[in-house]
Amino acid sequence: MESKTIPDDVDVSDLEKQRKRIDGRVKDMREDLGQLRGKIEQQKEVVEERKDDWQREVEREKKHETILRKISFVENARDKVESIEKEILEQVRTETEDSLQTFFNDLIWKDEPYDIELTDDYEVHVYGPSGEKNLGSLSAGERQVLALSFMSALAQISGFSAPILIDTPLGRISSKPKKRIAQNVPNYLEDTQVTFLMTDEEYTDEVRAFLKDKVANEYHLDYADEVTEVPSA
């Protein structure tokens, strides 16, 4: 991939776009959970229907034992589905949390490891050596690394292989963490098509060297007279 003439500074709107993309992934996962809950509700309706059947049968033919066994089976199945749902949700949250913490500590340039907590609502809490740090107290570079780590963790856990576009991924990150990101992010997003939009200051010779084995295509955009062009290969 090639550098582009993009302003060096990453403004708040760029960070907000990254956050919205992550929120979109979380929203997709929540929709999947909603479908599971819908199936549980359907099972509840089946239980009520079977109970009504049971009442009618008892009144007409006194064959309540057979109906009772059916109702018991459905209720047990519903309980199992609810239990499985809770286990799946907790497993997904835990695995996402573990991956997020691993990725963040792999990429961040601090000597002390950070602990990261992911709530049931997928809110992120970061704990440094001195305790909890609000997201607002993280530096721009730290927030950018956290966003990249969260996106990578969600992509890995969800199993989705949708293409990913990342604008100025190394914009406010210093030399050492740039190398870590260039070296590790492609591994976190393995088997995923990733497009990086980077300036020449981001796409240094060292970054290019780390990414060269992972790059399929590289393009350079020229900007002049308010027109952006992609030179012919």
Say if residue 28 is exposed, middle or buried (CB neighbours under 10 Å; 0-12, 13-18, 19+). middle
Q: What pLDDT score does 170 carry? A: 75
Q: What pLDDT score does 17 carry? A: 72
Task: Find the domain containing 46 and state its range.
Answer: 12-229
Q: What pLDDT score does 9 carry? A: 58
Any domain includes 100? yes
Q: What pLDDT score does 1 carry? A: 46
d(CA 2, CA 218): 5
**In a structure prediction context, what are the per-residue pLDDT tens digits for the chain, which is 233 residues long?**
444 444 555 566 766 777 777 777 777 777 777 777 778 788 888 888 888 776 776 677 666 677 778 888 888 888 888 898 888 888 888 998 998 888 888 877 677 788 888 888 888 888 877 776 667 677 777 787 788 888 888 877 776 667 777 777 777 666 666 777 777 777 777 777 778 888 877 788 888 887 777 787 888 887 777 777 776 55
Any domain includes 6? no
We report the CATH number of the domain holding residue 104 as 3.40.50.300
Any domain includes 194? yes
Q: What pLDDT score does 182 carry? A: 74
Any domain includes 3? no
CA geometry: angle at 117 spanning 82 and 166, to 5°?
100
Any domain includes 7? no
Find out whether 103 and 117 touch, Cβ atoms under 8 Å.
Answer: no
Any domain includes 4? no
Q: Single out the residue of 153, 33, 31 nearest to residue 87, CA to CA.
A: 33
Any domain includes 89? yes
Any domain includes 130? yes
* Sign of the CA dihedral with 227 first, then 197, 209, and 217 last: negative
Question: How many distinct structural domains can be found in the chain?
Answer: 1
Q: What pLDDT score does 6 carry? A: 46
